[in-house]
């Protein structure tokens, strides 16, 4: 994903996601990430503009709250909603989605145990991620960083937390189905032990309910 | 191949009543079976297999079809093959568009799902967390007394809009949620906003949300084809938006053409052929209907 050979290459486009273009650049001498939410031609300008501006400033707010909980996440260095741009710390590593295929079973389990504790700390602190997939977790020498909080929220609703679990479960099941049931079990065990089993089981139940809801809907 | 249908139409301002729909199905079933044989130009004696749509769907309606299928199978002494109706939408779509490895966007009254094939099954990458996009249109239409399915009329009204009204846009990961959009659209309508403006804004928000969920799934899976099928695939606004998504990611869009977008017997028959070739027959005593049969729970041995 990253082809960074030296200073001469900067700034360099390192990743194009569904929402944003990610550049590596120098920001007052330090390596930093510039995240630019690009305009979407499939949305009318009025709607598109307000979504991108909102998510940009909102992501900065959420990231600040996440860091207060000691959950590893990049520090925001600069926010510019008008151009839908964020400048933040550069976290060097690869996404958990990519890493899973190349590490051992015990390493995979240790990552998911760590992820369970991270997400539980966020939920305990009243933050939901909103886009909890394996591409939004960066692994750096065994340490996990949470990124991409544009769809995040300050919420203590059981439903919102259940959706985080649902999205993670789906992300694992759809792309890593061979490891899915084992790793999700490891994740849940760790999640429950951090958040507390009473609250945690309530959230797990909600996850199942939300999943059932979207399936074949009977028109009444 | 033949494709004969007789579709139950519910009265304007009311939804589908499962019992009334089932009564309709049992009244027309014999004639539809006879007409489809006539159209295909074959005799019942020449049939090799009966495909039975076990789900997902409304229980009473599924049971009518299943009863007809079981009777034909026992009388003609030929095997039954169970078919999942969502898989039917996908297979007929792939057959008629010649897509090879698509991200499938299944949009109808019963489904709003984004799925791709991997490791023997269709895996769900995104879907609705409450009502489907078809429900959104139909439930809105029911409140304003338009007959269902209401997509074409709402699209028509949307073309006469003069302004965009802000409505809730809810994307969660690769998922969408439409219930808040429905409530807000109806609330704005009773607060005095013009119907045309609401139709336009609701459609704009609903289709943009889905386009974003598809774009996220496309980025996540790295697929290079988008296949759009199901009754709502005929919606022009949705088609345009998905084509723009494809363009951004150098992907190709395939849209299934009506009449094969909506529910139809041909898709069940075709998927039945694929299932039979893979040896998936069942016995009458095991052919219980499954109203909530999930598409990602179906093993697909004929695809790799």
Q: Give the Cα separation of B105 and B118 in Å (integer).
A: 16
pLDDT, tens only, B6-39: 888 877 767 778 888 999 998 999 999 999 999 9
Spell out which residues of chain A touch residue B247, defining contact as CB-CB under 8 Å: 41
pLDDT, tens only, B102-156: 999 999 888 999 999 999 999 999 999 999 999 999 999 988 888 767 888 999 9
Domain positions in chain A are 7-89, 94-214
Cβ–Cβ under 8 Å, residues B102 and B116: yes
- CA A79, A81, A85 angle in degrees (round to 5)? 60
Put simply, the answer to whether B218 touches A18 (Cβ < 8 Å) is yes
B217 exposure class (CB count in 10 Å sphere: 0-12, 13-18, 19+)? buried
Q: How large is the C-alpha radius of gyration of chain A?
A: 18
Spell out which residues of chain B touch residue A175, defining contact as CB-CB under 8 Å: 118, 123, 220-221
Put simply, the answer to whether B208 touches A175 (Cβ < 8 Å) is no
pLDDT, tens only, B50-75: 999 999 989 999 999 999 999 999 99
Domain spanning A7-89: CATH superfamily: Phosphorylase Kinase; domain 1 (3.30.200.20)
Spell out which residues of chain A touch residue B171, defining contact as CB-CB under 8 Å: 151
Closest among A173, A114, A181, A100 to A145, alpha carbons compared: A114
**Span B89-255 CATH architecture:** 2-Layer Sandwich (3.30)
Beta bridge partners of A139: A94, A144
Q: Chain-wide mean pLDDT for chain B?
A: 93
pTM of the model: 0.91
Distance (Å) from the alpha carbon of B63 to chain A's nearest alpha carbon: 15
pLDDT, tens only, B226-249: 999 998 999 999 999 999 999 999
- A2: pLDDT strictly greater than 90: no
Domain positions in chain B are 18-87+263-297, 89-255
Interface A-B, measured as beta-carbon pairs within 8 A, has a size of 123
Distance (Å) from the alpha carbon of B17 to chain A's nearest alpha carbon: 7
Least CB–CB distance from A216: residue in B56, B118, B138: B56
Q: What is the pLDDT, as a whole number, of residue A1?
A: 46
Count the neighbouring beta carbons within 10 Å of the beta carbon of residue A103. Answer: 15
Put simply, the answer to whether B219 touches A215 (Cβ < 8 Å) is no
Cβ–Cβ under 8 Å, residues B203 and B158: yes
Q: Give the Cα separation of B174 and B163 in Å (integer).
A: 28
Active site residues of A: 131
Model confidence band, residue A215 (pLDDT cutoffs 50, 70, 90):
low
Give the ipTM of the model, two decimals please: 0.88
Q: Give the Cα separation of A2 and B232 in Å (integer).
A: 40
Put simply, the answer to whether B215 touches A40 (Cβ < 8 Å) is yes
Q: Give the Cα separation of B70 and B284 in Å (integer).
A: 6
Spell out which residues of chain B touch residue A18, defining contact as CB-CB under 8 Å: 212, 215-216, 218-220
Q: What is the pLDDT, as a whole number, of residue B148?
A: 66
Mean pLDDT for A210-218 is: 67
Three-class SS of A34-97: EEEECCCCCCCHHHHHHHHHHHHHHHHHHHHHHHHCCCCCCCEEEEEHHHCEEEEECCCCEEHH
Mean pLDDT for A65-87 is: 96
Q: Does domain A94-214 have CATH number 1.10.10.10?
A: no
Model confidence band, residue B88 (pLDDT cutoffs 50, 70, 90):
very high
- A68: pLDDT strictly greater than 70: yes
Q: Is B166 in a helix, a strand, or coil? A: coil
CATH class for the domain made up of B18-87+263-297: alpha beta
Q: What is the pLDDT, as a whole number, of residue A6?
A: 66
What are the φ/ψ torsions at residue A8 (nearest 5 degrees)?
Answer: -60, -25
- Tell me if chain A has a CB within 8 Å of the CB of B225: no
Closest among A107, A109, A154, A151 to A130, alpha carbons compared: A151
- B195: pLDDT strictly greater than 70: yes
Ramachandran area for residue B189 (φ above 0: left; ψ -120 to 50: alpha; else beta):
alpha
Q: Give the Cα separation of B20 and B147 in Å (integer).
A: 16
Least CB–CB distance from B245: residue in A42, A170, A171: A42
- CA B166, B170, B171 angle in degrees (round to 5)? 135
């Amino acid at each position: 994903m990253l082809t960074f050979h030296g200073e001469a290459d900067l700034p360099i486009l390192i990743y194009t996601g569904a929402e944003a273009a990610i550049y590596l650049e120098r920001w007052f001498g330090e390596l930093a990430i510039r995240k630019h939410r690009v305009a979407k031609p499939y949305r009318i300008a009025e709607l598109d503009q307000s979504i991108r501006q909102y998510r940009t400033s909102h992501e900065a707010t959420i990231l600040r709250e996440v860091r207060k909980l000691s959950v590893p996440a990049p520090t925001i260095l600069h926010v510019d909603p008008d151009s839908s741009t964020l400048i933040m710390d550069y976290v060097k590593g690869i996404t958990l989605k990519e890493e899973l295929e190349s590490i051992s079973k015990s390493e995979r389990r240790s990552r998911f145990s760590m992820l369970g504790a991270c997400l539980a700390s966020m939920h305990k602190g009243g933050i939901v991620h909103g886009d909890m997939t394996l591409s939004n977790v960066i692994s750096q020498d065994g340490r996990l960083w949470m990124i991409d909080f544009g769809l995040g929220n300050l919420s203590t609703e059981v439903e919102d937390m259940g959706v985080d679990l649902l999205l993670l479960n789906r992300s694992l099941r759809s792309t890593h189905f061979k490891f899915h049931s084992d790793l999700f079990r490891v994740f849940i065990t760790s999640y429950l032990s951090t958040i507390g089993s009473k609250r945690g089981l309530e959230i797990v139940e909600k996850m199942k309910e939300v999943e059932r809801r979207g399936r074949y809907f009977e028109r009444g | 191949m033949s494709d004969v249908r007789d579709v139950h139409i519910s009265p304007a301002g009311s939804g589908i009543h499962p019992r009334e729909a089932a009564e309709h199905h049992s009244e027309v079933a014999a004639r539809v079976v006879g007409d489809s044989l006539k159209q295909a130009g074959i005799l019942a004696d020449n049939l090799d297999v009966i495909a039975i749509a076990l789900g997902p769907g409304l229980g009473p309606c599924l049971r009518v079809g299943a009863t007809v299928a079981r009777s034909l199978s026992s009388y003609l002494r030929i095997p039954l093959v169970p078919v999942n109706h969502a898989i039917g939408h996908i297979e007929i779509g792939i057959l008629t568009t010649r897509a090879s490895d698509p991200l499938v966007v299944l949009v109808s009254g019963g489904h709003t799902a984004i799925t791709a094939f991997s490791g023997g099954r269709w895996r769900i990458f995104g879907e609705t967390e409450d009502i489907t996009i078809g429900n959104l249109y139909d439930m809105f239409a029911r409140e304003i007394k338009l007959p269902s399915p209401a997509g074409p009329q709402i699209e028509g009204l949307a073309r006469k809009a003069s302004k965009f009204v802000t409505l809730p846009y809810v994307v969660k990961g690769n998922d969408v949620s439409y219930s808040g959009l429905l409530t807000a659209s109806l609330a704005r309508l009773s607060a005095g906003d013009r119907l045309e403006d609401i139709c336009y804004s609701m459609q704009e928000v609903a289709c943009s949300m889905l386009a974003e969920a598809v774009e996220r799934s496309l980025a996540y899976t790295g697929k290079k084809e988008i296949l759009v099928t199901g009754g709502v695939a005929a919606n022009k606004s949705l088609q345009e938006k998905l084509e723009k998504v494809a363009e951004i990611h150098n992907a190709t869009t395939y849209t299934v053409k009506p009449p094969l977008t909506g529910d139809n017997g041909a898709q069940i028959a075709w998927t039945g052929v694929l299932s039979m070739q893979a040896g998936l027959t069942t016995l009458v005593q095991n052919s219980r209907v499954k109203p909530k049969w999930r598409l990602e729970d179906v093993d697909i041995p004929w695809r790799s």
